[in-house]
Amino acid sequence: MKIVDKINKALDDDRCFWSFEYFPPKTQQGVMNLYDRIERMCKLGPLFIDVTWRWGGRSSDLTLELCSNSQTVYGVEANMHMTCTNTNFGLIKEALEKAKDQGVQNVLALRGDLPDGTVEFDPSVGEFKYATDLVRYIRNTYGDYFCIAVAGYPEGCQGPEDVDRDIQYLKEKQDAGADIVVTQLFYDVDNFMAWVAKCRQAGITMPILPGIMPIQNYGGFKRMTELCRIGVPQEIWDRLEPIKDDDQAIKDYGIEVAVDMINKMKAGGVRGFHFYTINLERSTRLVLEKLNFVPAVSEVRPLPWNPSLSEKRAGENVRPIFWRNHARSYIKRTELWDEFPNGRWGDARSPAYGELIHGVQVRLPADQALCKWGTPESVGDVTSIFVRYCQGKLDSLPWSDTQLQAESSAIQDRLAQINGAGFLTINSQPSCNGAPSSDKVHGWGPSNGFVYKKAYLEFFVSPANMQALLRRLATAPTATYYAVNKAGELFTNCVEDSPNAVTWGVFPGKEILQPTIVERVSFLAWKDEAFDFWNAWSKVYAEESPASALLKGICSDWYLMNIVENNFQSHPESIFELFDGLGSQPTN
């Protein structure tokens, strides 16, 4: 979808909105970390994100990959930067064709900085001299397919003396086909508001989004404002000077400045705000929280998982619960399906999952993984790591890059308890009997609806503990389970292969939605991935080390098991009663 349409809808509703900018990291580890950050920050409800590219198109493929995956995996509209300076025409044409093929409809057209201190345009390297030329080419070639954003400079591109001339150029960009304006960062709100008024007087009618960059540290702020020739009110310098060596105090003050700026602009009628995140999360999140810019649950969670914006997956509204923390993998392994489940999980689904081409990997560098998880040399050590995660003392495991989901806070103590007994959980949800769809913890879907969930646990378990649990399950008529080891030996009490809905919602004027299911074929596809994380974790340690041998041994000997308590009307902890008195930690 074109972001100008979403912006105009928000403006028509007189509703505030915000967007985030990221840049492509230079390492693969940095890319993986950025994906995790984008996924987390999507919960803050951005109207869109955008991704820069390096001059000359040096990051064009990665920029497009980040944009495409953000739309397909995380369900957020993405805006792809494109600079024309020193960028070969063929590269621009190829990038635009790829963007169109992958469903990216939004482009931020920029001239870009001239490299290596050059001051003159070199026509032998790039065919477009100005951003206006690029805008005109995109509009003439692709018609209305792309929403074209352009840059605005409240303090002039090169300095204050350029302001009036830059406004004239901005009008030319609008006439060439541009749709929206995103401004350079600034800190003088009065100057920005006056600049917007001059733009309107010049006939510029495009929505104008002010660029906000929360201050992160003194040195970086000073360099950035000097590089961009940004005027900073003396009051800000006066407040920064006494704390310039205290990075945390600088960050806290930067949040205060951003909040004050946005409140002032909001009072002046501005409704959209574009955050230059510099790939950081905390300051942007705290600014939004302090402004009480909290998106409606229906906007952030139309389903319990992020719906894809891929045209091919339009209408998809059912997924297995197993990939809850691994959406990218699920998208990749199902990308060749002809159709995607809509309304029910059944014949619409193709019969096979794609293979794991590159396997799984621990997201942390080895030194950080060692610092966080230590060097386990016994099952008790591994158990302790899982318990600390459940207690909130660790923020990640190999199977999950984030802390426990908010809904699991109600069962946090019980999760820690069964992990301590040797049932190592990697996925869970408590039961829920008719919570409002607007509920901040359990809610999802359209307004005025009600959501329901069955209690669900997924965990690794030793053979001895599993046998004891199976005997207990034989006396639990409302519980169903699957258990499988790496070799594929399967235990289950499900007499049919029919999908079991574990989440559903009832909404006014709609059929009942069942977006999350447990199902045998999907579980057996997921188990290869789940077990592979043990091997990936083992690679943090030396090949022949006790820690590596321990983790590989768990991978080869233990079982992956899931249990559904189908009585959703029972209290949220009822599923844990199956584990009371069970559990042991086998010696190595």
Q: What DSSP letter does each residue of 251-280 carry, written as one string? A: HHHHHHHHHHHHHHHHHTT--EEEEE-TT-
Residue 302 has pLDDT above 50, yes or no: yes
Which band of pLDDT confidence, cut at 50, 70 and 90, is reported for residue 540? Answer: very high
403/383 Cα distance (integer angstroms): 17
Specify which residues 303 forms β-bridges with. none
pLDDT tens per residue across span 242-261: 999 999 999 999 999 999 99
416 or 312: whose pLDDT is higher? 416
pLDDT for the residue numbered 113: 62
Which band of pLDDT confidence, cut at 50, 70 and 90, is reported for residue 363? Answer: confident
Percent of the chain with pLDDT over 70: 92
pLDDT for the residue numbered 527: 95
User: At 6, which helix (H) or strand (E)?
Assistant: helix 3-12
Which band of pLDDT confidence, cut at 50, 70 and 90, is reported for residue 142? Answer: very high
Give mean pLDDT, residues 357-378: 85
* Cβ atoms of 139 and 145 closer than 8 Å: no
Q: Which two tokens stand for residue 141?
A: 């070639």
> Choosing from 21, 39, 155, 407, which is the catalytic residue?
21
Q: Which two tokens stand for residue 255?
A: 């949040």
pTM comes to 0.86
99/107 Cα distance (integer angstroms): 9
Cα separation values, 149 from 59, 64, 288, 404, 524, Å: 19, 16, 24, 38, 45
* Cβ atoms of 199 and 152 closer than 8 Å: yes
Give the three-class secondary structure for 576: helix
Give mean pLDDT, residues 284-300: 88
Average pLDDT, the chain: 90
pLDDT for the residue numbered 83: 87
- DSSP character string of 345-366: SSTTS-S-PPP-SS----SS-H
| Amino acid letter, residue 157 | C
Give mean pLDDT, residues 373-383: 96
Cα separation values, 191 from 21, 186, 263, 575, Å: 23, 9, 15, 60
pLDDT for the residue numbered 90: 84
465/461 Cα distance (integer angstroms): 6
Q: How many helices (H) and strands (E) does the chain have?
A: 19, 18
Residue 120 has pLDDT above 80, yes or no: no
21: annotated active-site residue: yes
pLDDT for the residue numbered 350: 46
Percent of the chain with pLDDT over 90: 72
pLDDT tens per residue across span 152-179: 999 987 666 788 999 999 999 999 999 9
Give mean pLDDT, residues 105-116: 80
pLDDT for the residue numbered 422: 96
Residue 337 has pLDDT above 60, yes or no: yes
pLDDT for the residue numbered 85: 75
The residue written with tokens 């704390």 in the block is 243
352 or 548: whose pLDDT is higher? 548
* Cβ atoms of 564 and 428 closer than 8 Å: no
pLDDT for the residue numbered 301: 84
Specify which residues 83 forms β-bridges with. 110
Range in 79-88, 178-187, 388-397, 526-535 the model is least confident about? 79-88
pLDDT for the residue numbered 72: 94
96/86 Cα distance (integer angstroms): 17
571/471 Cα distance (integer angstroms): 23
585/271 Cα distance (integer angstroms): 57
The residue written with tokens 């009618």 in the block is 205
Q: Which two tokens stand for residue 435?
A: 């919570």
226/215 Cα distance (integer angstroms): 14
Q: Environment class of residue 370 by beta-carbon count within 10 Å: exposed (0-12), middle (13-18) or buried (19+)?
A: middle
Per-position b or e across 296-334, b if 16+ CB within 10 A of its CB = ebbebbbbbbbbbbbeebeebbbbbbbbbebbbbbbbbb
Residue 195 has pLDDT above 90, yes or no: yes
pLDDT for the residue numbered 145: 97
* Cβ atoms of 138 and 130 closer than 8 Å: no
With the CA atoms of 531, 536, 538 and 540 taken in that order, what torsion angle do they form, in degrees rounded to the nearest 10? -160
* Cβ atoms of 162 and 156 closer than 8 Å: yes
Residue 348 has pLDDT above 50, yes or no: no
Residue 298 has pLDDT above 80, yes or no: no
* Cβ atoms of 111 and 130 closer than 8 Å: yes
Residue 349 has pLDDT above 50, yes or no: no
Give mean pLDDT, residues 533-546: 94
Which band of pLDDT confidence, cut at 50, 70 and 90, is reported for residue 262? Answer: very high
Residue 587 has pLDDT above 50, yes or no: no
Which band of pLDDT confidence, cut at 50, 70 and 90, is reported for residue 122? Answer: low
Give the three-class secondary structure for 52: coil
Q: Environment class of residue 429 by beta-carbon count within 10 Å: exposed (0-12), middle (13-18) or buried (19+)?
A: buried
Which band of pLDDT confidence, cut at 50, 70 and 90, is reported for residue 59? Answer: low
Give mean pLDDT, residues 495-515: 91
Residue 509 has pLDDT above 90, yes or no: yes
Which band of pLDDT confidence, cut at 50, 70 and 90, is reported for residue 468? Answer: very high
pLDDT for the residue numbered 123: 52
